Amino acid sequence: MPFKSEKQRKWMWANDPKMAAKWEKKEKKMKREMKVKELIKKMVREELAEVTQNMQMRKNFPGFNGDEYAVIDNWIDMNSLSKTIAMFKKHKKSFSQFVKDAAKARMFETTKRDYKAEYKKFQSSDKSKKYRAELNKYNRQKGTYGNGDGKDASHKGGKIVGFEKESVNRGRAEKSRLKKEGKLTEAHDGKWIVHTASDAYSKPKIMKVAKSKRAATILYNKLIKTDKYEAIGMESVEHWNRTNSPKIKEGKLTESQQVAKTILQQLGGNKFIAMTGAKNFGSSKNSLQFKIGKNSKSISHVIITLKSSDLYDVEFIRMRGTSRKVVKKLKGVYADMLQKIFTKYTGMNTRL
């Protein structure tokens, strides 16, 4: 029999150790059996919940297969069960078409990713081990190992150059991972098509080639609420090119466009556009020109030109009707000075 209390356990070990050892063994066995029983109960509960959920899903959304139910499940997560059921009942044909297209294009994950396993695999590689060992060695040399100061050893050009806040360092690492440098090889990179048809059997017509899945989903949601189209669909350009026509052609950025894109990134990219109201972008050989919003210096246009020395010439221009005046022209500007110079001569901030 197991011990009734810790006091009894101590007394038994002191007065009858043989019996105490026997009871200890029985107690361990009972604990193991209890754990197994609890685990079985948990597995049964989860299985029953999944079966019930699947039955409920088939009852609410009849006529779909496994991958398509995974799409509907993701849709429910983004909205709600009641809203999804209402949409299915109101727009049954177009909703069904979207679900089937999304399942074919693998718009949503049909199986859950094991992020822990992926992380473990990445961290166990020789490259990651060497990287961590290098960082730990640097921290020990500086006497900062394990002090919890919230700072990371920062890399520049493959070498450790000092410490900075971990949020800044890790944010930069994520940006560099996501950044796409060089030429754009395919026009369908990350793009999605929203298409409509007068009925389920007619040829689909492209409504929009969206830059992202999010933009395509917004348009799809607007169209699905109208009664103009019998069939509405959404799929990646890659999937469209395999099954439909006309094909969305692949393309490459020209050299001048690539230079202009780089200059815009150095100015701050989309944040710069949002802060300054920059528009009417144009590119010529090794230069970028654009119009900016109202500012205290009355500058209307800016031209930035890349020179052979890898430095920039910057022109600040004031346009009034047909008159054009170069207010300031700077030569030999470094890339990391572009934002400061822009702020100085326009009075506009390029970031918050």
Tell me: do 275 and 323 sit in the same domain.
Answer: yes
Q: Let me know if residue 280 belongs to a domain.
A: yes
SS3 letters across the chain: CCCCCHHHHHHHHHHCHHHHHHHHHHHHHHHHHHHHHHHHHHHHHHHHHHHHHHHHHHHHCCCCCHHHHHHHHHHHHHCCHHHHHHHHHHCHHHHHHHHHHHHHCCCCCCCCCCHHHHHHHHHCCHHHHHHHHHHHHHHHHHCCCCCCCCEEEEEECCEEEEEEEHHHHHHHHHHHHHCCCCCCCCCCCCCEEEEEECCCCCCCEEEEEECCHHHHHHHHHHHHCCCCCCEEEEEEHHHHHHHCCCCCCCCCCCHHHHHHHHHHHHHCCHHHHHHHCCEEEEEECCEEEEECCCCCCCCCEEEEEECCCCCEEEEEEEEECCEEEEEEEEEEECHHHHHHHHHHHHCCCCCC
Tell me: do 328 and 260 sit in the same domain.
Answer: yes
Q: Let me know if residue 156 belongs to a domain.
A: no
Q: pLDDT grade, residue 329 (50/70/90)?
A: very high
| Residue pLDDT, tens place only, 176-194 | 544 443 332 333 346 788 8
pLDDT for residue 2 = 67
Tell me: do 239 and 266 sit in the same domain.
Answer: no
Asked whether residue 173 carries a pLDDT value surpassing 70, the answer given is no
> How many domains does the chain divide into?
4
Tell me: do 225 and 286 sit in the same domain.
Answer: no
Mean pLDDT of 146-170: 78
| Residue pLDDT, tens place only, 53-108 | 778 778 888 888 777 887 787 777 766 778 888 888 888 887 888 788 777 765 55
* Domain, as residue range, for 15: 6-47
Tell me: do 287 and 223 sit in the same domain.
Answer: no
Asked whether residue 241 carries a pLDDT value surpassing 80, the answer given is no
pTM > 0.75: no
pLDDT for residue 107 = 52
Higher pLDDT, 26 or 229: 26
Q: Let me know if residue 351 belongs to a domain.
A: no
Mean pLDDT of 285-294: 86
Q: Let me know if residue 262 belongs to a domain.
A: yes
Q: pLDDT grade, residue 346 (50/70/90)?
A: very high
Q: Let me know if residue 77 belongs to a domain.
A: no
Q: pLDDT grade, residue 110 (50/70/90)?
A: very low
Q: pLDDT grade, residue 127 (50/70/90)?
A: confident
Q: Let me know if residue 172 belongs to a domain.
A: no
Mean pLDDT of 38-49: 82
pLDDT for residue 345 = 92
Give me the chain's average pLDDT, please.
Answer: 78
- Percentage with pLDDT > 70 across the chain: 83
Q: Report the length, in residues, of the chain.
A: 352
Q: pLDDT grade, residue 328 (50/70/90)?
A: very high
Nearest residue to 327 via CA among 312, 308, 314, 309: 314
Q: Let me know if residue 56 belongs to a domain.
A: no
pLDDT for residue 185 = 32
Q: Let me know if residue 89 belongs to a domain.
A: no
Helix axes 17-60, 66-78, angle to 10 degrees: 90
Cβ contacts of 299-305, under 8 Å, gap ≥ 24: 299/327, 299/345, 299/346, 302/342, 302/346, 304/263, 304/267, 304/338
| Sole residue written with tokens 């999937």 | 239
